[in-house]
Amino acid sequence: MTDSRLPTGVALITLILLAGVPLSLYYAGHIFWLDIFTRAVVLAIAAASLNLMLGFAGLASFGHAAYLGIGAYAVGVPAYYETYGGGGMIASYSGWWHLGLALGASALFAAVTGAISLRTRGIHFIMITMAFGQMLFYLLVSIDEYGADDGMTVDLTSQFSHVDLSDPVMLFGICYGSLLLLLLLQYRLKHSHFGRILAAIKQNENRTRALGVNTFYYKLTAYVLAGVICAYAGVLMANFSTFISPGMIEWTRSGELMFMVILGGTAWVFGPVVGAMIFVLLEYFLAGLTVYWHLPFGLLLILTVLLFRGGLGGMLQRIGATRGEGQS
C-alpha cells in the first residue's frame, strides 16, 4: 500500500497558501496578486472538472474549454441585452439567471456532443471532442452581435442580493469556497458507487461491460457533470475578467487545461489545483521575463510528458512510498 500522507500534506499546505498569500498581499497593498490567484482558482475549478472525466473515467476530452465559453457567454450575453436592449426573455443582470442559463446550456451541449463522441474511443474521441469545441468557437466567431472574434466586455457583473461580485475579495472568496466544495464533492464521488464504476471503465471498459454495466450512461454522466462544473467556472471567469471572447475556448485553451491536469497528476483529486497554480504562476513569471515565453513553456510541456509520468501527484506518492519503506 502506498503512503498517502505526503500528497495530503502538500494539498493542505497548497490550499492554505492559495488563500493566505493573495489575501495578505492584498491587504498589504499589493492588489494585483489577488487577480493572479483568483485566476488560478477559477482555472483550478475548470481543470478539476476536466479531471472528473480524464482522471476518474479515462476520457481524454480535448474540447473542454468550450464549457468555459458557455459559462462566460451565459453571463455576457444576457447582460449585453439588458444593457443595449433586445434579446427578449434572455436579457437580465440576475446572477441566478446567468447560472441557470450556464448550467442548462452546458448540460444540453454536453449531453448532445457526449452522446455522439462517447460512441467512439481513443483517438477518435480525442479528435471529436476537439472538433466539437472548435465548432462552438467558430459559431461565436461568426456572431457579429457579440463582437465576433473581438469578443465583448461585461459591463456589469452577475447580480446577487447579498453578494457583490465586483468586490475582488468577495469574488475571490466565492471562487475559493467553490473550489473547496468541488474538491470535497470530487473526493466523495471518487470513492462512491459511481466512482468505482468509473474507475473500472477507466481500467478496462470492455471488462466492465462484460460484468453487466451499461458503461455508456456512466461515461455520459461523468461527461455532463464535468461540462456543467466547467461552465460554472466560466461564469466565475466572466465575472472576474469582465471580458469574454471566443479566444477563451480555442482548442489551445483546452490543451492548457489538459496540461494543468497532467502536470498535477490525474490520479490525485487535488492534482489539477496544483497544476493550475503552477500554470498561472509560470505564465506570469515567464511572460514578465520575455515575449517569447511560450518557448520555455512549450519545452516544459514536452519535458513533462517525456520525463514526468503521473505528474506531481505521482511523484509525491512515489517519494512518500519510498520514505514509508525506509522508516519501517
Partner 1 sequence: MIAVQTINGLQLGILLFLLSSGLTLTFGIMDLINLSHASFYMLGAFVCASLTVLTGSFLLAIVMAVPITAFIAFVVEWSIVGRLYQRDHLDQLLATFGLILVADTLVHWFWGPSGLAVPLPAWLQGQVSLGASLFDPAIVIPTYRLLVLGFGIAVALGLFWLVGYTRTGMLIRAGASNRVMLSALGVNVRLLFTGVFALGSVFAALAGMLIAPVTEASIGMGNDIIITAFVVVIIGGVGSIKGALLAALFIGLVDTFGRAFLDVLLMQIMSSQAAETAAPAISAMLIYLLMAVILVVKPQGLFPPAQR
Partner 2 sequence: MLEVSALSKHYGGVKATDQVNLNVKAGECHAIIGPNGAGKTTLIGQLCGELLSDAGVIFFQGRNVTGLPMHRRVQLGLARSFQITSVFDDMTVLANVAVAVQANRGHSFRFWRPVSRNESINARALEVLRLVGMEVQHQQLAGALSHGERRQLEIAMALATEPQLLLLDEPMAGMGAEESNAMLAMLQALKGDITLLLVEHDMDVVFSLADTISVLVYGQVIETGSPAQIRNSATVREAYLGDAG
Q: Contact between 122 and partner 1 (CB under 8 A)?
A: yes
**Interface with partner 2 in residues 210-229 (CB under 8 A):** 210-215, 218, 221
Within 10 Å of residue 210's Cβ, how many Cβ atoms? 9
Q: For 153, phi and psi rounded to 5 degrees?
A: -90, 150
Distance between first and last Cα of the chain? 13
Per-residue binding letters, 133-172, with partner 2 (x by CB under 8 A): ----------------------------------------
For partner 1, the closer of residues 3 and 250 by Cβ is 250
DSSP 8-state secondary structure symbol assigned to residue 163: -
Kindly state the smallest distance separating residue 65's Cβ from partner 2, in Å.
25
**Interface with partner 1 in residues 236-265 (CB under 8 A):** 250-252, 255, 258-259, 262
**Interface with partner 1 in residues 5-34 (CB under 8 A):** none
Number of amino acids touching partner 2 (CB under 8 A): 25
Kindly state the smallest distance separating residue 325's Cβ from partner 2, in Å.
15
> Could you tell me the three cell numbers for 222?
461523468
Taking a C-beta distance cutoff of 8 angstroms, is the pair 136, 69 a contact?
A: yes
- Based on its alpha-carbon atoms, the radius of gyration of the chain, rounded to whole angstroms, reads 20
Per-residue binding letters, 266-305, with partner 1 (x by CB under 8 A): -------------------------xxxxx-xxxxxx-xx
Choices 6-14, 160-168, 201-209, 281-289 (CB under 8 A): range interacting with partner 2: 201-209
Taking a C-beta distance cutoff of 8 angstroms, is the pair 42, 233 a contact?
A: yes
Q: At what angle do helices 251-264 and 32-57 cross, to 10 degrees?
A: 80
Q: Contact between 127 and partner 1 (CB under 8 A)?
A: yes
Q: Is 204 left (phi over 0), alpha (psi -120 to 50) or beta?
A: beta
Rounded Cα gap, residues 40 and 175, in angstroms: 10
Give the residues across from 159 on adjacent strands: 94, 164
Give the residues across from 164 on adjacent strands: 159
With residue 114 as reference, give the H or E element that holds it: helix 95-117
Selection from partner 1, partner 2, none that 5 binds (CB < 5 to 8 A by kind) is none
Interaction site with partner 1 (CB under 8 A): 54, 60, 62, 113, 116-117, 119-120, 122-124, 126-128, 130-132, 134-135, 138-139, 141-144, 250-252, 255, 258-259, 262, 291-295, 297-302, 304-306
Interaction site with partner 2 (CB under 8 A): 188-189, 191-197, 199-200, 203-204, 206-215, 218, 221
